[in-house]
Homo-oligomer: A and B are copies of this chain.
């Protein structure tokens, strides 16, 4: 499933099926999660889905668009290393173009970093000017979590909306499920900014970003919740791909 482990001989067949490109980032995720959370989650979900879809997973975009203060802590947190919008657009576009040249026609861009969405959309729009017969889906994993599961997982803590779920219950749970060895369980905290304005302020004032980089109650995370999320999201991805790219 992982294109990076294939030889070119294997790749040439695999590319004709479903091609999944995980879109990640290199971004702070609190004192307990590694900087590659946004790469790990979509990559592992992509693997799970690819297994059922007989799809192929391309190497992930491992640096993404600039983290914003109220959805990820913002650019000033140490570690958060981001691309200019134009760079990310062309990075995704070039990968799509070359994969198309090799025969790829059906693409899932599986996003793990909110701020990537608009630039991935632009890359796809530019790609379609050339690749008239390609079909693509861009999907952020949190956008397809069912209301039912949200109620279940955030039953105790209360659901704050996906924006402020950064480095909190969903991401911590998924990391506990996918790579528990990289979660510093003793460092997990609940935190929040003093306020979350519904607009963007530049440069960001201190009170809109929590000191820890955790935007909500990460202590409510668990491996079991991670498993529930991973399984439901995988099923949904498989269903969506079959429906939209069949």
Contact = CB atoms under 8 A, between A and B. Distances in A.
Given A11-B35, A35-B8, A140-B199, A95 B79 contact: no
A203 B127 CA distance: 11
Nearest to A120: B200
Contacts of A7: 28-35, 79, 184, 187
A223 to B, nearest CB: 18
Given A34-B7, A135-B202, A98 B85 contact: no
A91 B83 contact: yes
Given A128-B202, A184-B7, A15 B78 contact: yes
Contact of A81 (B98, B137, B138): B98
A91 B81 contact: no
Interface in A1-39: 3-9, 11-12, 15, 26, 28-36, 39
Interface residues of A, number: 85
Q: Please provide the 3 A-B residue pairs with the shortest distance between their CB atoms, ordered closest to farther.
A: A118-B118, A12-B78, A4-B36
Interface of A: 3-9, 11-12, 15, 26, 28-36, 39, 58-60, 62-63, 65-66, 68, 75, 77-87, 89-91, 93-95, 98-99, 101-103, 115, 117-119, 121-122, 124-126, 128, 134-140, 143-144, 182, 184, 187, 197-203, 205, 213, 240, 244
Given A5-B34, A11-B35, A85-B122, 5 more contacts: A7-B34, A8-B30, A8-B80, A62-B62, A66-B122
